[in-house]
Amino acid sequence: MPQEYTQAFAQVLDDTESDKALLAEILTLPTESYLGDQMDVVDVDAIHRARESLKQYLAKELKGELLGLYQANSAQEAYSISSASIARRSLRNLSLDYLMQLHDAEVNALCIEQYLAQHNMTDVIAALSLIAHSNMDEREALLSDFTRVGSTISWCWISGSAYRLCQNAKIL
């Protein structure tokens, strides 16, 4: 990996002045389908391995910066659909995605804590998705927990009148 790429990535992680939505877009790697579209012959497995290796490399090199970004965007204010709140959640969950590539006990604990906090569905689903793709010991229990409460969550999404129920259950 060219050192200039890592330095550029680190600069974006340290940027506290720019719009958080823009920063999240800059830090997001191209999707596997996009990369495949750029190739004459698509090697799906190679694309996946390369993308995951890059995420893991960046997470190893910039763990402190990624943890700082995660913490800086972890404000637990009331749920809001404002663009600033959406951008903050996006940046937080993206940093957690990179960090989970480390298979590190400290990061696993952050991910589990985010899931268990049940602060909002964006954070719950982001954490659960990362848990589902991990090898952590708690994985099966957490997936079962989500299955148990899943019908309540689905009802909250389907029925606008169930909003108060979801708030009382600390789902929203």
Contact call for residues 124 and 115 (beta carbons, < 8 A): yes
Q: What's the mean pLDDT when you consider all of the chain?
A: 85
Cite the DSSP H helix spans in the chain: 3-14, 20-27, 32-37, 44-61, 63-72, 83-99, 105-117, 121-132, 139-158, 163-168
> Is residue 23 pLDDT above 90, yes or no?
yes
Predicted local distance difference test score (pLDDT) of residue 15: 93
pLDDT confidence bin for 152, thresholds 50/70/90: low
* Ramachandran bin of 170, using left for φ above 0, alpha for ψ from -120 to 50, beta for the remaining angles: left
pTM, to two decimals: 0.82
